[in-house]
Each structure stands twice: as structure tokens, then as C-alpha cells.
């Protein structure tokens, strides 16, 4: 017998949704449990066990489990997580706030832009620049990085996002 069962799991802030699909038997079965924020794996494990029991499916028949979550997204959007600082290439620390997004509701002329995920007073630009083709245009100023991080820590950040222009194009930097 081949493994044909697939299970999808989505951990949200309130509920953990699950779906078991077995094309061989023509079974598609949903499940839902309260999320366990202190240990999301508990709801996942309990939900999978319940799906297997309710559908009379043996664990050995499971081909794969696909997992997704909106916990981090919700934490960012609701601003209930850690205080975040941003370290960016000099001249680019305001890019998140400037944005170029088209309004999501074109009929609301009074729509306000969303608050930036990192407030301006917790953003620092540091000298150093990589070109779009990966060439180093200006070396990263490591002393400036350390000073900026120390300053942000003193400002109370608990997490640090780093956005250095085109750094992904140069493995040496």
C-alpha cells in the first residue's frame, strides 16, 4: 500500500485549522482546535491525532504534512511582539515608511497609510553599500554597525531587523 495521505496545518492566533486528504479513499476531512500559544506544537499534535482517529487513518499512510502559520504575521500587525529595531544601509532606513503601495481601497480618499513596523526613532542607517550586481561599492563600517546596535539596545529593542541593500548578492559581505 502506498502512502497517499496529506495533512495541512495552519496555526492561527485563535485556532489551529487542519485538513486531511486521502485521494486513494476519496476522503477530505477538516479539523479545528484552539491554538496553544505557549506551545503551538500541542494543538498541532492533538489535531493530527484526532484527524487520524476520525478518518481511521494509520500514521504510516501519511505521505506528508504541510504547515503554515499566521502567528508571526499577526504579532507584527497587532504590534504585540518584541520591540523591533532596524539596521539599514545609510539613506534607506525610511523605505518601509515611504512605501509605494497602491491604496488597498481606491474609493476611500481618506484612508491613512499603515503605521510602519519599526518606528523612525528605532531605525539606524550604517555606511556600506553593495551594488545590484554584487560589487562592493563601499565597505560596511563595522564600527558604525556596533555603535548603532548598542544605541538601539539602549533604546530598549528586543529584536533587530537588518536590511542592507543588495547584500544577498555578495556572499563575502
pTM to 2 decimals?
0.61
Q: Return the HEC string of 87-142.
A: EEECCCCCHHHHCCCCCCCCCCCCCCCCCCCCCHHHEEEECCEECCCCCEEECCCH
pLDDT tens, position by position, 91-139: 999 887 776 656 667 787 787 777 788 999 999 999 999 999 999 999 9
Topology of domain 5-75 in CATH is Nucleotidyltransferase; domain 5 (3.30.420)
Each domain of the chain, given as residue ranges in start order, spans: 5-75, 82-169
Phi first, then psi, for residue 80 (nearest 5°) are: -110, 5
pLDDT tens, position by position, 36-84: 988 989 999 999 999 999 999 999 999 999 998 887 777 777 888 889 9
Amino acid at each position: 500500500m502506498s502512502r497517499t495521505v496529506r495533512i495541512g496545518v495552519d496555526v492561527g492566533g485563535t485556532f489551529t485549522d487542519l485538513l486531511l486528504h486521502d485521494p486513494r479513499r476519496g476522503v477530505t476531512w477538516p479539523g479545528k482546535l484552539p491554538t496553544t500559544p505557549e506551545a503551538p506544537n500541542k494543538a498541532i499534535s492533538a489535531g493530527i491525532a484526532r484527524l487520524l482517529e476520525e478518518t481511521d487513518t494509520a500514521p504510516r499512510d501519511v505521505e506528508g504534512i504541510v504547515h503554515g502559520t499566521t502567528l508571526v504575521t499577526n504579532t507584527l500587525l497587532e504590534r504585540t511582539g518584541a520591540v523591533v529595531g532596524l539596521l539599514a544601509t545609510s539613506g534607506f532606513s525610511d523605505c518601509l515608511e515611504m512605501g509605494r503601495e497602491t491604496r488597498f481601497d481606491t474609493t476611500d480618499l481618506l484612508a491613512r497609510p499603515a503605521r510602519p513596523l519599526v518606528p523612525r526613532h528605532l531605525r539606524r542607517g550604517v555606511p556600506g553599500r553593495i551594488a545590484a550586481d554584487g560589487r562592493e561599492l563601499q565597505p560596511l563600517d563595522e564600527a558604525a554597525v556596533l555603535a548603532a546596535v548598542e544605541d538601539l539596545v539602549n533604546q530598549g529593542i528586543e529584536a533587530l531587523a537588518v536590511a542592507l541593500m543588495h547584500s544577498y548578492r555578495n556572499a563575502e559581505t
